[in-house]
């Protein structure tokens, strides 16, 4: 049995509650453990905790422009990996034609998030269409391919030697954030049956131990006529996510969790109202998330807490370093107080990892210079 030391204490100037009624001219920083699930203290500073003047050493807060990565082959195993550790692999896959072969991941479950594109997803279980903004969660060992006639840009997240599940919603109830009824699954429909073939040779590019083995069949391997069970790809579009929100309290990022493995959390930030209660904090709070590396892929919209961010960019904030909103966010909060801006319109995918994430060599050419200076007034 384990139990955190728990005795909320107070010293000096403090607010009565986290993220509420912060005295004028002071800045709150959350020092927390175990992501946002563990013990936490809230320190009031006279200066913004991001008012650094110099940063030296091997680790830093990093901004990447993934739009500058080169296009990939239609083979997903040749997509550009840009971040990884032993527990996850993250690729940005850019292509503009259909996959001629099937892919199969024997290393773990994977999520495809479609930043751009549309088409058809064929797999062992049938067929379903996809479009921009869709997640497709593919169970380990599933054979699949994409058919498309347009450009696709896909964020691929692998849970290496692991699987993705849905977060528990607890007292919010079984239907919070999204009802399971909105999850689409493949169908053995006319499009799937039309691709049956007894004579068309099929190659399966099977990845295991991060190596690819090609297995060839003299017929189309996707020949299922039916199935039953609950190990199946599912599709979810961010537009079907009903964001959890509070008018009186700025909620932590973990309430936006969409998928979980044992070591990573995949969250979706979708448009939501900005808090309007006079005492509520209206910007993301300064914090250091000391057990998780935090990374965010920016999909679309005007990003509320970051300046000079475009769709297709990606940030990585290593654990052990505090961070928080840019000056732009405080201006947006002030506009909200005047009734000028009441909603965010950003859409982003956050990947939090319990173990340190490493950037691949390919990111050197797409790293945005002077990102650390973006917190300067």
pLDDT of residue 336: 57
Of 210, 238, 266, at which residue does a domain stop? 238
The rounded radius of gyration (Å) of the Cα atoms in the chain is 22
List Cα–Cα distances, 151 to 32, 130, 218, in angstroms.
42, 13, 30
- The single-letter DSSP state of residue 195 is T
Query: What is the C-alpha to C-alpha distance for residues 63 and 26, in angstroms, rounded to an integer?
Result: 28
For the cut 70, the answer to whether the pLDDT of residue 314 exceeds it is: yes
- Tell me, what's the pLDDT at 334? 64
Question: Helix (H, G, I), strand (E, B), or coil: what is residue 256?
Answer: helix
Q: Are residues 248 and 364 in the same domain?
A: yes
Same domain as 197, residue 50: no
Same domain for 327 and 353?
Answer: yes
CATH code for the domain of 110 = 2.60.120.10
Say if residue 254 is in the same domain as residue 336: yes
Tell me, yes or no, whether 206 and 288 share the same domain: no
Q: Kindly tell me if the per-residue pLDDT of 273 is higher than 90.
A: no
| Residue 296 pLDDT | 96
Q: Report the number of distinct structural domains present in the chain.
A: 2
**313 part of a folded domain:** yes
**Which residues lie across from 94 on neighbouring strands?**
153
Bridge pairing between strands 102-105 and 202-208? parallel
pLDDT at 175 over 90: no
* pLDDT, tens digit (0-9, with 9 covering 90-100), for 104-144: 999 999 999 999 999 999 999 999 999 999 999 999 999 99
Q: Does residue 1 sit within a domain?
A: no
The answer to the question of residue 145 being in a domain is yes
Q: What is the pLDDT of residues 224-250, one digit of tens each?
A: 999 999 999 999 999 999 988 778 877
Residues 76 and 180 both lie in one domain: yes
Domain boundary among 238, 267, 301: 238
In a domain, 351, yes or no: yes
One domain, residues 205 and 85: yes
Same structural domain for residues 233 and 247? no
Whether residue 228 sits in one domain with residue 79: yes
* Residue-wise pLDDT tens digits, 344-368: 889 999 999 999 999 999 999 999 9
Domain contains 9: no
Residue 303, pLDDT score: 82
- The answer to whether residue 299 sits within a structural domain is yes
pLDDT of residue 335: 62
Q: How confident is the model at residue 268 (pLDDT cuts 50, 70, 90)?
A: very high
Q: What predicted TM-score, i.e. pTM, was given to this entire model? A: 0.94
5 occurs within a structural domain: no
172 is in which domain, residue-wise? 71-238
Task: Please identify, among 221, 238, 255, the residue that sits at the C-terminal boundary of a domain.
Answer: 238
Shared domain check, 251 and 209: no
Q: Tokens 């996959």: give the residue.
A: 99
**339 has a pLDDT exceeding 60:** no
Structure tokens at 20: 């509420």
- Percent helix, strand, coil in the chain, to 5, is 10, 35, 50
Are both 342 and 205 inside the same structural domain?
no
Terminal Cα-to-Cα distance of the chain (whole angstroms): 47
Q: Evaluate if residue 341 carries a pLDDT over 80.
A: no
Query: How many residues in total does the chain contain?
Result: 377
Binned at pLDDT 50, 70 and 90, residue 173 comes out as confident
Higher-pLDDT residue of 189 and 287 is 189
State whether 205 and 255 are in the same domain.
Answer: no
């Amino acid at each position: 049995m384990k139990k955190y030391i728990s005795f909320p204490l107070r010293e000096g100037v403090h607010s009565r509650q986290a993220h509420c009624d912060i005295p004028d001219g002071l800045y709150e920083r959350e020092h927390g453990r175990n992501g946002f699930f563990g013990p936490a203290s809230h320190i009031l500073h006279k200066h913004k905790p991001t008012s650094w003047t110099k940063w030296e050493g091997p680790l830093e807060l990093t901004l990447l422009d993934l739009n500058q990565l080169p296009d990939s082959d239609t083979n997903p195993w040749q997509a550009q990996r840009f971040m990884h550790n032993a527990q996850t692999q993250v690729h940005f896959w850019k292509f503009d034609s259909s996959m001629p072969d099937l892919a199969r991941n024997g290393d773990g479950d994977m999520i495809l998030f479609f930043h751009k594109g549309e088409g058809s997803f064929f797999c062992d279980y049938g067929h379903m269409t996809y479009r921009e903004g869709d997640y497709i969660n593919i169970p380990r060992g599933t054979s699949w391919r994409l058919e498309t006639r347009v450009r696709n840009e896909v964020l691929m997240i692998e849970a290496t030697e692991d699987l993705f599940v849905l977060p528990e919603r607890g007292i919010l109830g079984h239907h919070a954030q999204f009802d399971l009824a909105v999850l689409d699954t493949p169908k053995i429909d006319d499009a799937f049956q039309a691709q049956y073939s007894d004579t068309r040779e099929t190659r399966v590019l099977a990845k295991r131990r991060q190596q690819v083995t090609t297995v060839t069949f003299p017929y189309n391997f996707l020949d299922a006529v039916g199935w039953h069970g609950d190990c199946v790809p599912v599709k979810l579009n961010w537009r079907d996510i009903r964001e959890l929100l509070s008018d009186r309290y700025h909620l932590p990022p973990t309430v936006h969790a969409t998928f979980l493995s044992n070591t990573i959390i995949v969250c979706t930030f979708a448009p939501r109202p900005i808090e309007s209660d006079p005492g509520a904090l209206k910007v993301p709070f300064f914090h250091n998330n000391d057990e998780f590396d935090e990374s965010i892929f920016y999909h679309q919209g005007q990003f509320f807490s970051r300046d000079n961010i475009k769709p297709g960019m990606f940030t990585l904030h290593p654990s052990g370093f505090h961070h928080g909103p840019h000056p732009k966010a405080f201006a947006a909060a002030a506009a909200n107080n005047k009734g000028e801006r009441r909603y965010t319109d950003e859409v982003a995918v956050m990947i939090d990892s319990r173990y340190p994430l490493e950037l691949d060599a390919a990111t050197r050419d797409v790293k945005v210079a002077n990102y650390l200076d973006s917190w300067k007034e």
